[in-house]
Amino acid sequence: MSGVLLVLAPSLPRSEIEALLQRLADPMAHRATDGADREMADGIGLSLQHMAITPEDAKIPPVAQSDDLWVALDGRIDDRGRLAAALGVSEASSDATLVAAAYRRWGRAFCEHVHGEASGVVVEPERRRMLAFRDRMGVRPLYWHARPGLLLVASEPSAILAHPDVPRGANLAAVAEMLANRHHERRETLWRGVEAVPLAHWLAAEEAEPPKLGRYHRLDPWRRLPDGDAGDYVEAIRETFAVAVADRLRSTRPLAIAVSGGIDSSSILGQAEQLRRSGVGPRPPMRAYHFVYPGTSAHEAPYAEAVAEMWRVPFETLAPLDHPEWADPSLPTLHPDSFFDPRERAFVALADEAKRHGIRSIFTGNVVDVYVRSTGDELADALVGGRPREVLQRLAGRGARGSARELLSALRRLVPRNLREASRRLRPTPRHPWLTPAAARLVVERADALERELDLRRWPDRVTRDICADLEGSRIQPVLASLDRVAAKVGTEVLSPWQDLRLVELLLAIPHRYREAPPHGGPQKPILRLALGHLVPERTRRRVDHPDIGEPLTIWFFDHHQTKIRRLFEKSRLVEAGLVNAHALRSISPSSDTGAIMRLIAMERLLRDLD
């Protein structure tokens, strides 16, 4: 995880730009694992704090790719052979060199030709012109702040907040959305003075003009493979999955994976080991790590151990519950821009163990649950599409009352948006378990605004709209951005082939009935089990249980930290800000929703840290 920082302040001389670069880079010093470089001129400066993750970038690439072009990148470029051939440069060139050549060839449109998990900044210093860009899936975050005479761009909010003129307060509307699990970080962040460059966007600026945002890619919701049997899509999934994994094996260092025991992470381990044995990637086998929770209902260790045994790779278990301090809500957050989440402390323990073996890159099965799942709109789509057989299949076995409830719910989803909004205006905002009425009303209004924005685009069906919106929004972006910062803090990176654009677009093009969970139970993600089942043990391929560790972990959390939790909410900043009901905070108990509790603690800590 390298760090990128740009300062564009036309009125400042070079000496002041240099001092400002140093000041703002300090909060990201942990990213300079393998050195740092920077370039400055009157009015503009660009710095890179480098962590080497690929062979091509083993040595720090100079920011000055030439006298008239500076480049700083965080991430990796995929499909390098095609890009290098198109540009007429060596495939062994650094990613920064490839980006520089692409920018010279295509200008701002170069983003459309570069693939992979890479965000960064390109600068033409003589013109004081810059172009920042974020990758198509938003894997590598990028933030900015603009005011007359000043533009800042950085890999972490803390770098921007280090500027004395940037407001440090919390964005209370975004905090309310976060508490309701609706915050999306498309552009707006939890910090009042910081904006995010949205995924698949560029940010362009010149000396005398305000910055402009532009989108260079959008998921194609209309792409569809010919309708057929599930087996018709197996080969395409296998080929694309292998490429997605192979591109992330570019490393001279050994690699690790957090394997849960499900098909998502287990198939990555199997594919990576299969590729390694054919000469792709580092020589040592991937090390597998698994979290165990003794005394709870979460028993996935046998599945994780089985896949490690199948591929004969090193396997270690970590027990977060043996270390109550990992979930201590009174401890400082792991990173000034991260949120309280015990899972992140568990990840750091895994990262520390992996680093003992020289590992920097850690694979996970993150994100696939966002687009290989049921959304709740399947029945509504079947009604609109005139598919009576599917409607009957989805209602089968639910009984008369259950079928009536399902039908009523589906019909409500079909009510036009403007009528739904008008209806809400005529009745009180539904009571939220934590939020004050004013905060709940604000969340609903902002949700309606997002709905209107989505309605400006045409969609083939509601399910596709749900999934595309989630890929860009609340289900993943804030969480992944926080994990990105924590991983960088401890000198590692997190990789998930399931975030590969090629794989996402392929799976979205496959009929949804093969991606969703069976309506009446059975193995989840049937198409993945069919296509990738050869990479995992039979017991993993056939398993139907899906343990939820949320409830037992909440009980454990309260058993160990109840006093500290209640003390944290004494004189609550969330209550003072008018966001949360004080009585609701006093009613928190082990039966409360795990995610809601963690968000409440995280946002309380955020407001206190920004005081």
Quick one: average pLDDT of 11-40?
97
Quick one: average pLDDT of 446-471?
87
In which band, very low, low, confident or very high, does the pLDDT at 48 lie, cut at 50, 70 and 90? very high
Give the CATH superfamily of 230-371+475-547. Answer: HUPs (3.40.50.620)
Quick one: average pLDDT of 88-116?
96
pLDDT in tens, 355-381: 999 999 999 998 888 888 888 899 999
Q: Are 109 and 133 in contact (CB under 8 A)?
A: no
pLDDT in tens, 127-139: 999 999 999 999 9
Does the structure show a pLDDT above 80 at 451? yes
Domain 3-172+184-215, what fold?
Glutamine Phosphoribosylpyrophosphate, subunit 1, domain 1 (3.60.20)
Enter the tokens of residue 70: 């500076």
Give strand ranges (E) for 42-98. 44-49, 64-66, 69-78
At 430 the pLDDT is: 62
At 381 the pLDDT is: 92
- Please state, in angstroms and rounded to a whole number, the distance separating the CA atoms of residues 606 and 175: 9
Does the structure show a pLDDT above 80 at 95? yes
pTM across the whole model: 0.94
Q: Are 240 and 271 in contact (CB under 8 A)?
A: no
pLDDT in tens, 57-69: 999 999 999 999 9
Does the structure show a pLDDT above 70 at 123? yes
Does the structure show a pLDDT above 90 at 509? yes
Does the structure show a pLDDT above 90 at 10? yes
Does the structure show a pLDDT above 90 at 590? no
Q: Are 3 and 28 in contact (CB under 8 A)?
A: yes
Does the structure show a pLDDT above 90 at 89? yes
Q: Would you call 265 helix, strand, or coil by DSSP? A: helix
319 φ/ψ angles, rounded to the nearest 5 degrees: -115, 90
Does the structure show a pLDDT above 90 at 207? no
Does the structure show a pLDDT above 80 at 592? no
pLDDT in tens, 524-566: 889 999 999 999 999 888 887 766 666 677 777 877 888 898 8
pLDDT in tens, 303-341: 999 999 999 999 999 998 887 777 888 888 888 888 888
Angle between helices 172-179 and 594-609 (to 10 degrees): 160
At 576 the pLDDT is: 96
At 299 the pLDDT is: 78
Residues 6+ apart with CB under 8 A from 273: 285, 286, 311, 313
Q: Would you call 122 helix, strand, or coil by DSSP? A: strand
Does the structure show a pLDDT above 70 at 90? yes
At 52 the pLDDT is: 95
At 350 the pLDDT is: 94
What are the extents of the domains in the chain?
3-172+184-215, 230-371+475-547, 552-609
Q: Are 285 and 311 in contact (CB under 8 A)?
A: yes
Closest to 175 measured CA to CA, from 195, 190, 194: 190
DSSP 125-171: GGGTEEEEE--TT--S--EEEEETTEEEEESSHHHHHTSTTS--SB-
Provide the mean pLDDT of the chain. 91
Which is higher by pLDDT, 422 or 75?
75
586, exposed or middle or buried, with CB in 10 Å at 0-12, 13-18, 19+?
exposed
At 363 the pLDDT is: 97
At 392 the pLDDT is: 86
pLDDT in tens, 109-119: 999 999 999 99
